[in-house]
Amino acid sequence: MNNVLGCHILIEACDCDPGILNNIEAVKETMINAALQAGAEVCNVAFHKFSPQGVSGVVVISESHLSVHTWPEFGYAAIDVFTCGDTVDPLTAVEHIREKFKARRALVSEVKRGIFDTHSISKISPG
CATH number at residue 35: 3.60.90.10
**Residue 1 placed within a domain:** no
| Domains held by the chain: number | 1
- The C-alpha atoms of residue 64 and residue 42 are separated, in whole angstroms, by 9
**Residue 86 placed within a domain:** yes
Mean pLDDT of 105-120: 81
Range of the domain at 50: 6-124
Which amino acid is it at 44? Answer: N
**Which pLDDT tens digit goes with each residue over 47-102?**
999 999 999 999 999 999 999 999 999 999 999 999 998 899 999 999 999 999 99
Q: pLDDT band at 7, cuts 50/70/90?
A: very high
**Residue 13 placed within a domain:** yes
Active site residues: 64, 69, 84
Q: Give residue 65's pLDDT.
A: 97
**Residue 57 placed within a domain:** yes
Q: Give residue 117's pLDDT.
A: 58
